[in-house]
């Protein structure tokens, strides 16, 4: 991958912002973009409790991302297989299995969300939206890391701009209800700590999914700064969304697609379609991130055996096979059930196989002093 050579030519954007945008790209798809995850993990704690939980998740993402990025650069591990082989030794297969479960679940969620959005916006059969998303993911992942990074950059511009407009229109349409919701809300209530921990835990795996974009880092300082920035970059759209949702608390928590509900309350001509296209972009970059990580993992093994890296056809074939299986799951299980029943299990799984080893073995590897080299004096 010639990481060092790439890093020497890297821009400020590639070193400090791209990792955070990539992390946001992996996390934002599915329930985040539609508001369903926010309703599941943050709305039950009320306005202030939900915001507290989101800030807790942001802090966790920043800390874990900073340690992950620094450790990956120190080990020279820029795909998840190489990273966990160095971190866990023979136990690396535990993460491989956990990641397989994760990919099946999130791609099923993305397929279900794309189907629901296509049906709600354009009146399509639900299968049509899932197919369009799958074909788009295969198209972007087929051409490798440079194409994926370009998608992360421009899709992120669209996403941040649309969420900013979303909040502006929400304040214009029902800002009084938002202010009333926060003014009348008690201090943080409910089990907001558990909500923040759960949401952060199953999503933080994104920090290793995006390892291929770390090739631009030029120092350990770059890695730590990029990791710290990644948390706020990832959570900012969710906070804007959550603030708007509080106009209709607590009823908004029961909506399958909170985004669609709020857009109907705004009634801004044309914005409904723009927002749904933005959600599709969020689903696309999240799916691309998950499939690209697998392609890079396979390509790393192929290159280690002295063969050329994966070509366009092989990358497309791998993505196509994975997506067909996951979209089949999406057609059988509803979006809400997928998020509610599957993600809490993933949270515990990744705490055990990723976060715990990272913050113990990984920190020890980062902080231990470098060995002193003894030189023989002639």
Question: DSSP of 158-188, one letter per residue?
Answer: HHHHHHHHHHHHHHHHHHHHHHHHHHSPPSS
Please report the pLDDT score of residue 377 as a whole number.
Answer: 42
Please report the pLDDT score of residue 342 as a whole number.
Answer: 67
Please report the pLDDT score of residue 2 as a whole number.
Answer: 39
Please report the pLDDT score of residue 112 as a whole number.
Answer: 80
Please report the pLDDT score of residue 320 as a whole number.
Answer: 95
Please report the pLDDT score of residue 34 as a whole number.
Answer: 80
pTM above 0.85, yes or no: yes
Please report the pLDDT score of residue 376 as a whole number.
Answer: 41
16 to 10, 147, 209, 320: CA distances (angstroms):
10, 19, 17, 32
Query: For the segment 310-356, what is each residue's pLDDT rounded down to a tens digit?
Result: 999 999 999 999 998 887 665 565 555 665 566 677 788 899 999 99
Which portions of the chain are predicted below pLDDT 50? 1-5, 372-378
Please report the pLDDT score of residue 378 as a whole number.
Answer: 44
Residue 23 contacts by C-beta under 8 Å, 6 or more apart in sequence? Answer: 61, 65, 206, 207, 210, 230, 233, 234
Please report the pLDDT score of residue 259 as a whole number.
Answer: 87
Residue 45 contacts by C-beta under 8 Å, 6 or more apart in sequence? Answer: 52, 53, 188, 189, 190, 191, 192, 195
Please report the pLDDT score of residue 137 as a whole number.
Answer: 97
Please report the pLDDT score of residue 372 as a whole number.
Answer: 46
């Amino acid at each position: 991958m010639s990481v060092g050579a790439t890093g020497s030519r890297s821009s400020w954007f590639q070193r400090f912002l791209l990792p955070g945008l990539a992390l946001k790209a992996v996390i934002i798809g599915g329930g985040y973009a539609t508001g369903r995850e926010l309703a599941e993990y943050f709305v039950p704690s009320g306005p202030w409790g939900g915001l507290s939980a989101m800030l807790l998740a942001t802090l966790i993402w920043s800390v874990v991302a900073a340690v992950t990025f620094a450790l990956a650069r120190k080990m020279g591990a820029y795909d998840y297989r190489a990273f966990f082989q160095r971190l866990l030794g023979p136990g690396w297969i535990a993460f491989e299995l956990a990641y397989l479960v994760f990919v099946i679940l999130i791609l099923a969620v993305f397929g279900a969300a794309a189907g629901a959005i296509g049906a709600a916006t354009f009146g399509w059969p639900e299968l049509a939206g899932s197919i369009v998303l799958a074909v788009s993911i295969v198209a972007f992942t087929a051409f490798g890391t440079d194409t994926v990074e370009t998608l992360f950059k421009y899709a992120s511009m669209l996403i941040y701009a649309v969420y900013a407009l979303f909040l502006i229109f929400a304040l214009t349409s029902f800002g009084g209800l938002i202010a009333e919701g926060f003014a009348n809300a008690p201090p943080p209530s409910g089990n907001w700590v558990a909500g923040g921990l759960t949401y952060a835990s199953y999503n933080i795996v994104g920090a290793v999914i995006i390892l291929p974009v770390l090739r631009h880092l030029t120092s350990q300082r770059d890695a730590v700064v990029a990791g710290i920035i990644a948390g706020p970059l990832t959570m900012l759209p969710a906070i804007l969304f959550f603030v708007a949702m509080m106009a209709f608390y607590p009823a908004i928590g029961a909506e399958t697609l909170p985004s669609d509900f709020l857009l109907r309350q705004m009634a801004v001509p044309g914005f409904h379609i723009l927002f749904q296209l933005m959600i599709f972009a969020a689903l696309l970059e999240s799916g691309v991130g998950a499939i690209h990580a697998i392609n890079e993992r396979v390509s790393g093994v192929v290159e280690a055996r002295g063969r050329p890296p994966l070509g366009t056809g092989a990358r497309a074939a791998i993505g196509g096979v994975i997506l067909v299986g996951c979209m089949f799951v999406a057609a059988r299980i509803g979006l809400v059930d997928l998020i509610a029943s599957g993600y809490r299990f993933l949270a515990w799984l990744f705490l055990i196989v990723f976060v715990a080893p990272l913050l113990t073995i990984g920190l020890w590897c980062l902080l231990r002093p470098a060995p002193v080299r003894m030189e023989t004096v002639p």
